[in-house]
Structure 1
Amino acid sequence: MNHTYQGSCLCHQITFVVNGFNERAANCHCTMCQKFHGAAFGTLVGVSGLKWLSGVELIKDFTALNGTTRSFCKECGSSLGFRVKDASIEEIELAIALFNYDIPVVIDAQIYTNYRANWSTLQSDIPAFCEGRVL
């Protein structure tokens, strides 16, 4: 049985559909995710079968000094996701909150916790890593 999962930015001008998710998804506490999402952490997930349905021309990229790219909607400012250096827009890890309905994703790690905001607490039931995930 094939499922698709739709999502959008806040203004609904950027819309997309995916047909699957990476098995691993983490709450990232790095300072770039904090600033990009305006929150204690960002929660992103790799996807498969990504198809942009509308608004691709509204996607704006910011490339950090380390070469990673964060994409957002230039109309409403919604954080769309993260890409490693030199990755295409189709390889984006999407912000999990963009999806319109429940998705079959379980957060299995908390990463870059050395940079956790002092007013944020970690979840005791999810493994935490001081830097990136240890494989």
Structure 2
Amino acid sequence: MSTRAGGCVCGAVRFVARDVQDKAGICHCETCRRWTGSAMIAVTVPTANIDWTGTAHIRRAQTSGWAERAWCDECGSNLFYRMTADDQTNTEMPLGLFDDANGFRLVNEIFIDHKPDSYAFEGSDRTLMTRQDCIARFGALNTGPENQAG
């Protein structure tokens, strides 16, 4: 685990994250693809371990019945995805926010059955989960018609 810093494109929002694991994951759900313009590659960080500066520039939206997303209101950089249901304590941070994005290992891909055929990630040493796998694993997603994406 390490301490990593990062921020948005314009620098209005910065963070220092402590105890960051070297694991990254990819989400292919429709909402993440629309939010990022591609698959979301993210690192899970305990919410309590993130110190933010420039919080006046952070905007949030509840994007499903169980999750919120945040961005910088100055430059539009996506800052995080966070489950709001079931007392979740982690924040998913886009890999590109980190000043040094080296040293992370890709360990899973979720909503793999929603991935477009126009791209693929190399390697096979990771867990692949379908939409149904995600609903079964993460109870908050099983809340009705919006369980299509996060």
Q: How high is the TM-score relative to the length of structure 1?
A: 0.82
Which consecutive segments of 4 or more residues in structure 1 shift more than 4 A? Answer: none
Q: Which residue of 2 aligns with 1:42?
A: 40
3-state SS of paired residue (2:129): coil
Letter in 1 for 2:33: Q
* Identical residues among aligned pairs (%): 22
Deviation track 1:100-133 (CA, whole Å, cap 9, x = no partner) reads 0145421101110111123122434233222229
Residues in 2 aligned to 1:74 and 1:119: alpha-carbon distance in whole angstroms:
31
1:106 has 2:105 as partner: yes
Alpha-carbon offset, residue 66 of structure 1: 2.2
Residues in 2 aligned to 1:70 and 1:87: alpha-carbon distance in whole angstroms:
16
3-state SS of paired residue (1:108): strand
Deviation track 1:41-88 (CA, whole Å, cap 9, x = no partner) reads 101112242111x21011111112323101111111111111102589
Aligned length: 131
Q: Which residue of 1 aligns with 2:7?
A: 8
Bigger fraction of residues in helix: 2
1:128 has 2:125 as partner: no
